[in-house]
Structure 1
Amino acid sequence: MNYIVGLTGGIGSGKSTIAEFFAELGVPIVDADVVARQVVEKGSPLLAQIADHFGNQILTEAGELNRTALRALIFGNENEKNWLNALLHPAIRQAMLAQLQAQTAAYTLFVVPLLIENKLTALCDRILVIDVSEQTQLKRASLRDQNNQKLIQQIMDAQVNRATRLSYADDVINNDGEIAQTRDLLRQKVLELHHTYLALAEEKR
């Protein structure tokens, strides 16, 4: 497997923006959220199993997974959440590994919100944490998702805390500034890290 840089950060930290900047430099991205959607695509065996278990109420009229309906069904129901995780997590992990192994570039960016929580750090040669304050997380996530702050706080509480996340970091990008002002600075930081990762990947070969 080639050199793998794990990118993580809490909700609202700006992981997608940073990943986009790496993608602009030609770095292949394996994104856990994208893989999680792929394994339950319309017509997939996993989606059929989920529908058998929860009923067709979790399907849209087009036959795709209605994530909002599913989230409402498992929210606060530990047994159902555990059932779903036991079904999905092995399939997602297998698909992620297959995508990582298929890469031929010098290094791959492995974007996983729950990299630490799901014990995926062992797959990474290096870990990049996107760091922001909790106040910034709440503010950005609320604006982005129109979610209520209580729900966002619950998501944050389910993730490792900021200090724990930073303790795993080899590299940190602080993304606490105003987005418009910092895009160029963020791009510059990504470019610097890109050269670092290319050099480290070369050393590993």
Structure 2
Amino acid sequence: MKKQTKIIAGTVLVGGIGIGTYAYVENTPSAFAAKNLISEKQAKEVALKETKGGTITELELDRDGLKNKYEVEVLNGDKEYDLDIAAETGKISKVEEAMKDQDDNDDDKEDNHSLNDDERSDRDDQIDPAKIKVTAEQAQAIALKKVSGMVKEMNLDDDYVYEFEIQKDGKDIDVHVDAVTGEAVVDTKDND
């Protein structure tokens, strides 16, 4: 009888470890797509409604403890917004509003006393939404035509290039889409 009890207890223990391992794998970032999450498009709509328009400069699906969230940055006029949106519900959990590159301007005054107009126009804080001809949604569609998969991260850099990190077959692949021309390039140097 004791031998049978040990076998049953061992089977329950091994089964419990298997269930625990399954639960861990199910909660890893690669399992984002399998969950019931709002789409990136919906997250963008929520963010732009909250900021009353603007240009999305960064979007990332991330984890906060056991919860999934979209981290979104929006530039609207002279204001920048950082938002966290619950990926399961679409509710905004955080909104931070600041004047455009307020933090950078303090450092620039100390470190860059002699910037000329050309140098100032090349800095991160000089993204002009009027120059952007390709929306974030259009750029994402272009990137996904180059590499089909799940977009994990998107941002718009100061060279007017959308940078996408796309997960495909367990690998992260970087795709760059020009925000003016729509030309897309797969970045092969970081995709090993």
* TM-score interval, smaller chain: under 0.3
Bigger radius of gyration among the two: 2
TM-score, with structure 1 as normaliser = 0.19
Could you say which structure has the higher helix fraction?
Answer: 1
Q: TM-score, normalised by structure 2?
A: 0.20
